[in-house]
Chain A
Amino acid sequence: MIDERIYEMFREIGRDLYGQNMISSHGGNLSIRLGDKVIIKRRGAMLGALKPHDLIETRIDKNDSGVALASTELLVHRTIYKQTPALAVCHCHPRTAIAFSLSRDEIVPIDNEASYLLKKIPIVTEEFASGTPQMANKVASALQNYKIIMLRGHGSFSIGQTLDDAYFWSSTLEEACQIMLAAKLINEPFIEYRKMSEAYNKF
């Protein structure tokens, strides 16, 4: 039985991800780690309208019956939990960030908040960009050094101590990309206001 408080946490963040156009109707997934177990969204459930039975509890280190119900991205969530100290994972499809991921190898924000919080978001490329061990390992490996990364053409994976935390990095990334896009449209010379910003791409 999953605690009602945990369900509420998933429900609120899933609803907000959908409301902010960070996922499609059935896209994205969320999970939290409970010791050697993971609670993750049910496969095919709508993150924007989660019901209590849409949360699945399963093991991190081996399969049990929960795997039959869990999100197709269970493998990458499990791998992240094995390879990083994360207690929560947020995977979503931030549209502007995905667009930027198609033409560069990293995203270096220019706005103040994302510069503070993220510095740099690496972009990982994988031929089969969903649910494979290769993709899971690449994503988890990148998350050993960054709290959010982009999978080229697919979406973001972020980690945190709490779901709030992981969600925050995702929404910060998308906000940063929207600002970068707007700045490109304005097309005026950029005035650097951040000291030592040249080091961001080495972060």
Chain B
Amino acid sequence: MTGWNEKILDIDLTSGSIKTYPLDMNMARLFVGGRGLGGRLLWDLVGPGVDPLSPDNVLIFTNGPLTGTAYQTSNRFSVSTKSPLSGTILDANSGGFWGMQLKRTGYAALIVRGRSEKPVYIEIKGEQASIQNAAETWGLRVSEVTNKLGQDKNRRNVLCIGPAGEKLSRIAAIMNDGQRALGRGGSGAVMGSKNLKAIVVEGNQKTEISDPERYKFMVYETRKLLAASPLTSQALPEFGTAVMMNLVNNVGALATRNHQHNMFEGAEAISGETLSETYLVKNDACWACPIHCTRISKTGKTGEVEGPEFQTAWAFGAQCGIADLEAIIEANYLCNDLGFDTISAGSTVACAMELSEKGLVDSDLRFGRADLLSSTLEDMAYRRGLGVDMAEGSWRLAKQYGAPELSMSVKGLEMPAYDPRGMQGQGLLLATSNRGACHMRGNMLGLEVLGLPKLIDRFQIQGKSSYVILNQNSNAAIDSLVLCKFTSMGVADEYFARTLSAVTGIQYATGDMIKMGERVWNLERLYNLRAGFTSKDDTLPSRLLNEPAPDGPTKGWVVHLEPMLKEYYRARGWDANGVPTPQKLAELELKEL
């Protein structure tokens, strides 16, 4: 079959065994790749009793049939594991070059299990894999280890952890190609728990395409649409993702000072527009991406570095009450080099700031203290002082100091930039997201703020669940392909389905692709239910449910979660407790789970 690599590479770091075996092609048809395939493999490999930081947890790196074909944004890859931060099923995906290079080695998935006695790294050259001694790289920062292991943009690509992952911080990221992140949920700690410092890939296999003419047409049309969309051809290339800062602030939905406020007086100073006028050197792109949203910024302390993205500028900016872009760029760089998820790191700092201001923690941290960002991040990475507790993420930190309600998280994962009191659908999305509070599971920004594909009323309650569900299913499908969600700002789902059909030779109608996303969503739900989660976990921090937003156009609103959630369960075909019904599972070909 074309599109897929039909082999899995399975490495056990405890025994040192390296195996390959065929990919189950029926599983591939149903779950495609990336998040879907990784989640399905994880279901079989990691049961509910497994401690995420034990040798029994696994890391599953996956690509998809489109990966490496040169279809727009087909550079991405995914990691699936059980999250040490939330205890939920976790997937995270990342761009750059590493994913395309993994596809070139000839494998559809790389499974890493067990725990090595000593630090090691994995090297995959073509189809040959080996386990190498990592004594010389253990302890190094991300930029150092990436260089030392021979990162070469298009030929040899390095994925690794930094000190945060080595020290098992539950908000540690896995980094690839230097400054790209598999950010959310603490996969870096899982890698650290295995004594695995890095994975280096080199390959040269090409992905075969079933219908080259049809594929070529879809590439051409996609390029045309991305070039025609002002978002993908102007806003993102010129200002990066931080172009959202003012837009979200203007509607009163920019979480500020640990969600105590919903508008930030310093938004303009940390916006994409300001970044472009000050520290931006140039833009850049992942492999096969025409959008070029990557920022290359420069400060006196950092030199030329990637970022910051919108969520990072928000996390260390509005959420911490900091309007100092230079300090934010430095914090972003430090997170990348130490190996932290920037959203969770910034939000944990914000949580510590509120705990300190309320006298619950003895620390100098206060909202606006940009001067303390760098030292705080270093303390978190190396687990010094208050950093010992902060490395555990905001929920465990706030609980430790007697105020768990001050952690702005869902299922333990820190929330993104949006204050859902001003975006009701986003509130439902964050409450129901399978890996915890994450906007990338079905972002309602398009419908509720940007008007993509059309603007709906952001305060509407009735009927909101339908939009959230469709977005969640669509995003699960895109994550399984594995493509960048920014393409969907210019291109509709039907293009992805047609491209998938052209590449694989299997006819996926748009509805088939969305159904695949629904299958993935329900699989993840089943995983979490099996792990002990219940409908009680589908909630938001009490602040957002009970304290009316104080500012601007959202003033007076709380999230009306209960009616939306009730409607959501029903519309999903789940029972009143949020459990998928047998009929729904049969419809999705998930009956055997």
Chain A positions within 8 Å of B, measured between CB atoms, are 2-3, 5-6, 32-36, 39, 83-85, 87, 116, 119, 144-145, 147, 160-162, 164-165, 168, 195-196, 199, 202-203
Contact = CB atoms under 8 A, between A and B. Distances in A.
26 contacts: A2-B462, A3-B461, A3-B462, A3-B463, A5-B457, A6-B462, A6-B463, A32-B466, A34-B466, A35-B469, A36-B571, A36-B573, A85-B470, A85-B510, A85-B511, A87-B467, A119-B221, A145-B509, A147-B492, A160-B453, A161-B453, A162-B456, A164-B453, A165-B453, A168-B454, A202-B214
Given A161-B447, A202-B214, A35 B567 contact: yes
A84 B453 CA distance: 17
Contacts, number: 85
Contacts of B492: 147
Contact of B460 (A5, A36, A161, A202): A5
Contacts of A34: 462-463, 465-466, 567, 571
B220 interface: yes
Interface centre among B461, B467, B498 (most CB of A within 10 A): B467
A162 B453 CA distance: 8
A93 B110 CA distance: 54
Contacts of B469: 35
Interface centre among B461, B463, B473, B494 (most CB of A within 10 A): B463
B453 A144 contact: no
Contacts of B466: 32-35, 87
Contacts of A35: 465-466, 469, 567-568, 570-572
A80 to B, nearest CB: 10
Contacts of A145: 494, 509-510
B220 A195 contact: yes
A33 B224 CA distance: 31
B470 A87 contact: yes
Contact of B463 (A32, A84, A164, A165): A32
Interface centre among B462, B465, B469 (most CB of A within 10 A): B462
A49 to B, nearest CB: 22
Contacts of A36: 570-571, 573
A3 B460 contact: yes
B53 to A, nearest CB: 39
A5 B335 CA distance: 43
A198 to B, nearest CB: 9
B286 interface: no
A87 B474 CA distance: 13
A92 to B, nearest CB: 17
Interface string B492-516: 1110001000000000011100110
A62 to B, nearest CB: 13
Contacts of B571: 34-36
| Chain B contact surface mostly | helix
Interface of B: 213-214, 217, 220-221, 224-225, 228, 447, 453-457, 459-463, 465-467, 469-470, 473-474, 492-494, 498, 509-511, 514-515, 567-568, 570-573
Given A6-B463, A116-B225, A161 B470 contact: yes
Contacts of A2: 462
A128 to B, nearest CB: 25
Nearest to A160: B453
A160 B570 CA distance: 21
A35 B456 CA distance: 17
B454 A164 contact: yes
B171 to A, nearest CB: 34
A105 B568 CA distance: 40
B151 to A, nearest CB: 37
A144 B510 contact: yes
A58 B33 CA distance: 38
A131 B511 CA distance: 23
A39 B221 CA distance: 35
Interface centre among A84, A85, A196 (most CB of B within 10 A): A85
A144 B509 contact: yes
A37 B163 CA distance: 52
A196 B222 CA distance: 13
Contacts of A164: 453-455
Contacts of A33: 466
Name the 10 nearest CB pairs between A and B, nearest first. Answer: A35-B571, A164-B454, A85-B514, A144-B509, A3-B462, A162-B454, A34-B463, A199-B217, A5-B457, A84-B511
B493 to A, nearest CB: 8
Contacts of A147: 492, 494
Contacts of B462: 2-3, 6, 34
B344 to A, nearest CB: 31
B144 to A, nearest CB: 46
A83 B511 contact: yes
A160 B494 CA distance: 11
B525 to A, nearest CB: 16
A168 B515 CA distance: 25
Nearest to B463: A34
Contacts of B214: 199, 202
B445 to A, nearest CB: 14
Contacts of A116: 224-225, 228
A189 to B, nearest CB: 25
A56 to B, nearest CB: 15
A63 to B, nearest CB: 18
A101 B592 CA distance: 47
A33 B466 CA distance: 7
Nearest to B459: A5
A196 B217 contact: yes
Contacts of B473: 85
B506 to A, nearest CB: 14
Nearest to A194: B224
Contacts of B455: 164
Contacts of A144: 509-511
A196 B220 contact: yes
A164 B224 CA distance: 23
A145 B217 CA distance: 16
Given A87-B470, A145-B510, A161 B454 contact: yes
Contacts of B470: 85, 87, 161
Nearest to B465: A35
Nearest to A168: B454
Contacts of A6: 460, 462-463
A162 B462 CA distance: 14
Interface centre among A3, A35, A119, A196 (most CB of B within 10 A): A35
